[in-house]
Amino acid sequence: MSPHPVLCYHRVGGPLELGVTRVGRAVFARQMTALAKAGWRTLTLAQFAQRFQPGNSALRIPPSAFLLTFDDGYASLAQYAYPLLAELGFTATTFLITDHVGANNTWDVRYTWRPLAHLDWRSVELWRARGFDFASHTASHARLTWLSDARAADELGRAREALIQRLGASAGRAVAYPFGAADARVQRLARSAGYELGFGSVRANGGAMHVPRVPVYLWDAWSVPLGLRPDRLGSVGRFVAHLANRCAVGTSVMQGLGARVSGLGGRESRRPSP
């Protein structure tokens, strides 16, 4: 278990969906409030990046700190999640799909019954000024491991360029690989595009270009926040390990559900998009 875990959320609040990556607004509020009350702190991306720098002492970062991340950059974050986090004194890092900033999502199969809006640059700049970090989720959310070197480099480089141009050099520090998919080749391409940090899935190897994250999906709604009391929350590690177990169980449940859905409605069975 990493001393400073990385939690990964997708959508918070907004319309219900057929997929599993949406976490309800009240559930999210309960989880964050419980962590804050128990004394946990969130790290900025710069603080988190320090642990990968040579000569770094882990002691400089408080042990009860974690990195909170959001993938895909949906507009509902600015409506529900960010204001709550700001109130709790928390911050977060959001990974943007730079071709889709300010647009409706056209890059993913519809799980909802209407298109979902992404954050626009104005809200991104506003929340950045309030201490929230933004980073790359590539230009168009393509699975990088399926692309040629040239196309993968373009996805990584174009997104980084757009972020730096709009938000300054530090916004080019990190990338979250779409679907968590990053082999050694993709990690090398990300490094040569100029990224210092690459975030992968729960099974990532732990290097700077393949940092593991714990996804938080729909099924975390039931047990985690309800039974969570500060005195029982011995460490964020235990909290995260619990979420990870829920995810492992949830994955098979979700795959079964996907098969049933595709059998019933002819809808394509899909995994959630980390």
Residue 138: burial class (beta carbons within 10 Å; 0-12, 13-18, 19+)? buried
Computed from CA positions of residues 132, 136, 139, 141, in that sequence, does the dihedral angle turn out positive or negative? negative
Tell me, residue by residue from 65 to 84, as one string, x for binding to Zn ion by CB under 5 A and - for no binding. ------xx------------
Shortest Cβ 153–Zn ion spacing (Å): 19
User: Given the rule CB under 5 A, which of 63-71, 98-106, 109-117, 163-171 is the region that contacts Zn ion?
Assistant: 63-71
Shortest Cβ 194–Zn ion spacing (Å): 21
For Zn ion, the closer CB: 141 or 173: 141
For Zn ion, the closer CB: 47 or 138: 138
Q: Coil, strand, or helix at residue 135?
A: strand
Tell me, residue by residue from 17 to 46, as one string, x for binding to Zn ion by CB under 5 A and - for no binding. ------------------------------
Shortest Cβ 70–Zn ion spacing (Å): 10
Shortest Cβ 105–Zn ion spacing (Å): 10
Q: Name the residue with tokens 């000024």.
A: 129
Residues 6+ apart with CB under 8 A from 255: 269, 271
For Zn ion, the closer CB: 38 or 202: 202
d(CA 95, CA 92): 10
Q: Coil, strand, or helix at residue 167?
A: helix
Nearest to 169 by CA among 138, 195, 188: 195
201 binding Zn ion? (CB under 5 A): no
Contact 204/182 with Cβ under 8 angstroms? Answer: yes
Tokens of 117: 């809006």
Report how far apart, in Å, the C-alpha atoms of 85 and of each of 38, 155, 255, 266 are. Answer: 15, 30, 32, 39
Shortest Cβ 40–Zn ion spacing (Å): 25
Contact 135/173 with Cβ under 8 angstroms? Answer: yes
Tell me, residue by residue from 245 to 274, as one string, x for binding to Zn ion by CB under 5 A and - for no binding. ----------------------------x-
For Zn ion, the closer CB: 35 or 96: 96
Shortest Cβ 140–Zn ion spacing (Å): 11
Give the residues lining the site for Zn ion (CB under 5 A). 71-72, 273
